[in-house]
Every structure is written in C-alpha cells, then in structure tokens.
C-alpha cells in the first residue's frame, strides 16, 4: 500500500480511534474487564506483601525497644477498654481483639 493511501486512511478515521491502542507490546488484546481484574490481583498481592513486611518491622521494633512496645500495648488496651467498657467485655476478650488487630490470631 502506498504512503499516500495510508495517510488518506488515517485522515478518514476519527482522531480518537487513532490515539487509542488496545494491544500490549506482545500483541495481546485486553478488555477493560481483564485489565481491571489484573490490577485488582496485583493490588491484593501488594497488600498481602506489605502486611507481611509491616508485621516483620513491628516484631523487630517490639524486640528492640521493649519499653516502647509495652507502652504501646497498654495505650491500645486502654483505648479499647474506653470504647468497649460499657459492654462488660473481659480482659481475655480484649486481648483477643488486640491480637486479631495485629494479625497474631
């Protein structure tokens, strides 16, 4: 096909259609749904990895500065008691809630 014909075809197409490409460099065509599903899968994987990293950092910080860790736990327990105090929740249940919050349970 000649260069003139290619240029003529490009002029006939609406501008928006020329600017949008649905193919990836490998030549695979992805629908919006598939792109969205892939993005969600990567975000969930990132969240899982970041939570694991946060748990490692918290564990390292708790073992390094024991005094600060105890103060932090006491402050969390005090705040939780202030919120749930009117429901007569036992200390064992409060500890279970804190363990759940930090992913230990």
The per-residue pLDDT for range 69-89, each reduced to its tens digit, is: 788 888 999 999 999 988 999
Q: What are phi and psi of 29, to 5 degrees?
A: -90, 125
Check residues 24 and 31 and name the one with the higher pLDDT. Answer: 31
Q: Rounded CA gap, 75 and 69, in Å? A: 10
pLDDT digits (tens, 9 = 90+) for 14-23: 555 555 555 5
Is residue 92 pLDDT above 60, yes or no? yes
Q: Rounded CA gap, 44 and 52, in Å? A: 12
Q: What is the largest CA-CA distance in the chain?
A: 84
Question: Which range is least confidently modeled, 6-10, 50-54, 64-68?
Answer: 6-10
- CA neighbor of 84 nearest in space, from 70, 99, 97: 97
Residue 62: CB atoms within 10 A of its CB come to 15
pLDDT digits (tens, 9 = 90+) for 95-104: 999 888 887 5
């Amino acid at each position: 096909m000649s260069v003139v014909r290619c240029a003529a075809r490009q002029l006939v197409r609406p501008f928006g259609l020329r600017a949008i490409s649905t193919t990836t460099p490998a030549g695979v065509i992805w629908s919006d749904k598939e792109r969205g599903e892939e993005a969600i899968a990567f975000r969930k994987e990132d969240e899982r990895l970041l939570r694991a990293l946060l748990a490692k950092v918290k564990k390292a910080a708790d073992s390094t500065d024991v005094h600060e860790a105890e103060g932090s736990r006491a402050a969390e327990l005090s705040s939780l008691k202030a919120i749930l105090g009117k429901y007569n929740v036992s200390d064992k249940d409060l500890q279970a809630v804190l363990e759940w919050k930090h992913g230990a349970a």
